[in-house]
């Protein structure tokens, strides 16, 4: 009975989000191979997970922080990751909010198409579940940014997610492709770039570097090629500090011909 109630609450939440969250259109779907792939995108705060859950093409599962799936872990993780950089005068309010959202977080992340990600030995279960979902024919979506700047579009990627490809190749004898995705909420668009395939013959350290650099650079190239818009960053910074996809000096040069 408890599980049924929780499932109903999730469906109501998803319906409400679908009702109020702007519809996101996709471009570049021709770059998605017919086989299962790992889609890697910019986090864009919570826009990435929400937009992909609602509008990403095909059957898919999304990596999410495992802490957001467990009631006792949500408050500390949510405050640290979302609101720790808020002004000291209002941090108490966000600490309270982190406890308020905990039951909803557990409901949403345990009923959506998610794969929990952990920073301890449980990461092995994350990898195994990811491989299983790929074998079932699903795409897997990952947002690997962390708090280290790469450029004005994305933060540097944590690179160990590439290791999933090694386990997948070992299990299936097939080399999975990674597809870059750029989400531009202000344009209400989700863009997919050309894939890059994992090469099992190369040392894994080389593959982590090669594939991550390609993905970060491809996402950046997609972003700067678009009409000027505000980039919603991974970092928890004030809105007035959000960057433009086109740095001001380049915008000025373009305007001047």
Which tokens is 255 given?
């305007």
User: pLDDT tens digits for 83-131?
Assistant: 777 788 888 898 999 999 999 899 999 999 999 998 888 899 999 999 9
Cβ contact 131:168 at 8 Å: yes
- What is the rounded average pLDDT for all residues in the chain? 91
Listed range (20-24, 87-91, 200-204, 220-224) with the worst mean pLDDT: 87-91
Average of per-residue pLDDT across 219-239:
93
- Which residue, 49, 58, 51, is CA-closest to 23? 51
Instruction: Give 238: exposed, middle or buried? Use CB within 10 Å, 0-12, 13-18, 19+.
Output: exposed
Q: Give the rounded percent of residues in the chain with a pLDDT score beyond 90.
A: 77
User: pLDDT tens digits for 181-198?
Assistant: 999 999 999 999 999 999
Q: What is the pLDDT of residue 249?
A: 55
Listed range (21-30, 31-40, 92-101, 151-160) with the worst mean pLDDT: 92-101
Radius of gyration of the chain, Cα coordinates, nearest whole angstrom? 19
Q: What is the pLDDT of residue 257?
A: 37
Q: What is the pLDDT of residue 252?
A: 31
Length of the chain: 257
* H and E: helices and strands count for the chain: 9, 10
Q: What is the pLDDT of residue 256?
A: 31
- Which residue, 241, 222, 221, is CA-closest to 230? 241
Which tokens is 15 given?
């319906």
- CA dist 160 and 139 (Å) reads 18
Q: What is the pLDDT of residue 254?
A: 38
- CA dist 185 and 189 (Å) reads 6
pTM: 0.91
Higher pLDDT, 21 or 247: 21
């Amino acid at each position: 009975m408890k599980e049924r109630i929780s499932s109903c609450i999730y469906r109501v939440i998803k319906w409400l989000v679908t009702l109020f969250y702007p519809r996101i259109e996709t471009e570049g779907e021709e770059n998605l191979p017919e086989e299962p792939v790992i889609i890697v995108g910019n986090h864009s705060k919570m826009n990435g997970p929400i937009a992909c859950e609602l509008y990403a093409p095909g059957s898919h599962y999304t990596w999410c922080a495992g802490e957001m799936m467990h009631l006792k872990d949500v408050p500390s993780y949510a405050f640290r990751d979302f609101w720790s950089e808020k002004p000291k005068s209002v941090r108490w309010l966000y600490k309270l909010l982190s406890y308020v959202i905990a039951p909803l977080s557990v409901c949403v992340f345990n009923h959506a198409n998610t794969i929990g990600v952990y920073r301890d030995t449980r990461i092995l279960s994350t990898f195994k579940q990811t491989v299983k979902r790929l074998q079932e024919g699903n795409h897997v979506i990952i947002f690997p940014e962390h708090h280290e700047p790469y450029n004005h579009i994305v933060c540097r990627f944590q690179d160990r997610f590439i290791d999933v490809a090694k386990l997948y190749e070992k299990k299936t004898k097939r080399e999975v492709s990674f597809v870059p995705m750029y989400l531009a909420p202000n344009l209400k668009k989700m863009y997919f770039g050309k894939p890059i395939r994992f090469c099992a013959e190369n040392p894994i350290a080389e593959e982590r570097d090669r594939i991550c650099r390609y993905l970060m650079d491809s996402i950046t190239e997609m972003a700067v090629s678009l009409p000027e818009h505000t980039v919603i960053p991974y970092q928890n910074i004030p809105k007035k500090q959000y960057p433009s996809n086109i740095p001001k000096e380049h915008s000025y040069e373009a305007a001047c011909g």
